[in-house]
Amino acid sequence: MTEAVMLEIDLQWAIDEQPMPTLEQCQRWAQAALQNDNAYQEVEMVVRIVDENESQQLNRDYRGKDKPTNVLSFPFEQPPGLLELGEELPYLGDLVVCAQVVIDEAKEQNKSLESHWAHMIVHGTLHLQGFDHIEDEEAHEMESLECEIMQDLGYENPYAQDQKSCV
């Protein structure tokens, strides 16, 4: 039996209002998205909740898209010096989530706010582990995994409005 990886989250609020998510929720959602092929027994990540201005600036600077977005993932890259010494840091990276975009999308997509927050944390955590959805085959793999994780957490198919089915 594979032992579960322990996850420590640094939840940062860069906005005044903090209705959701809680640290416990982020912990539960991200933990569910951790894949067992992780090399560590314990890993760390940051979840930063931001406003539309910060999201837009980061999205523009790092993705060339001048608008706020729901979640940005910044996987941690090990410094070459540590790798040469045979050491690595057990750090996944940072998620930056725009609260207002998540709230607006949940309303537009007729989803519960909690379910959409869970999906954004799951989605971002998978990105931190190298999953992507640029190519069709990668997208199918990642979305299928998201569906499975979300259903295991007790939530609906996050892609139901797109007419995609969980496989």
- pLDDT tens digits, one per residue of 57-66: 999 999 999 9
Q: Is the pLDDT reported for residue 163 higher than 60?
A: no
Q: What is the mean pLDDT of residues 20-46?
A: 86
Q: What is the mean pLDDT of residues 44-71?
A: 97
Total domains in the fold of the chain = 1
- Known binding residue 123? Answer is yes
- Known binding residue 140? Answer is no
In a domain, 78, yes or no: yes
In a domain, 101, yes or no: yes
- Known binding residue 127? Answer is yes
In a domain, 167, yes or no: no
pLDDT of residue 5: 74
161 versus 78: which is more confidently predicted? 78
pLDDT of residue 164: 56
Q: What is the mean pLDDT of the chain?
A: 88
In a domain, 25, yes or no: yes
In a domain, 1, yes or no: no
Q: Is the pLDDT reported for residue 131 higher than 50?
A: yes
pLDDT of residue 87: 64
Q: What's the CATH number where 92 sits?
A: 3.40.390.30
C-alpha span between 57 and 35 (Å, rounded): 30
pTM: 0.89
Domain that residue 43 falls in: 6-162
